[in-house]
Structure 1
């Protein structure tokens, strides 16, 4: 599912809302999650899961094409851990 499909589904389930308003709401939610992660905060959506940021330290890597050693810089990556309710729904159905 892509974001535009999500907006269409939500707008379809809530006919009293305009699609452009639903799109604004979805964008605002994603922007807030992104902003919180950029600040190093954790975002938890009960029953769904938790978003956090993990640090990947610098390391020596290899260029897969040439096999030459390269230095991979430190980076921060987003991480998602599923919630208990989501795992149960996936495994029951």
Structure 2
């Protein structure tokens, strides 16, 4: 949460699952106050993704920006089935 990504971050997701068109995960550091720390949540539809310093940042159609800190357990992210250009 101390990394400066150069743009405002809405929240951080742990144990994230990529389930198009949304992400699901445990949220921390929500700057909007919508979610309590450690709450499971689902984003609005994902618009695009950025990769910065080894992190995946997902922008939603609602304008939120989520940083995936970790993917759901079980090996590599088997849910990461999107194609980005």
TM range (shorter): under 0.3
TM-score, scaled relative to structure 2:
0.25
Hey, which of these two has a bigger chunk of helix by percent?
Answer: 1
Please tell me whether Structure 1 or Structure 2 has the larger radius of gyration of its CA atoms: 1
TM-score, scaled relative to structure 1:
0.23
Hey, which of these two has a bigger chunk of strand by percent?
Answer: 2
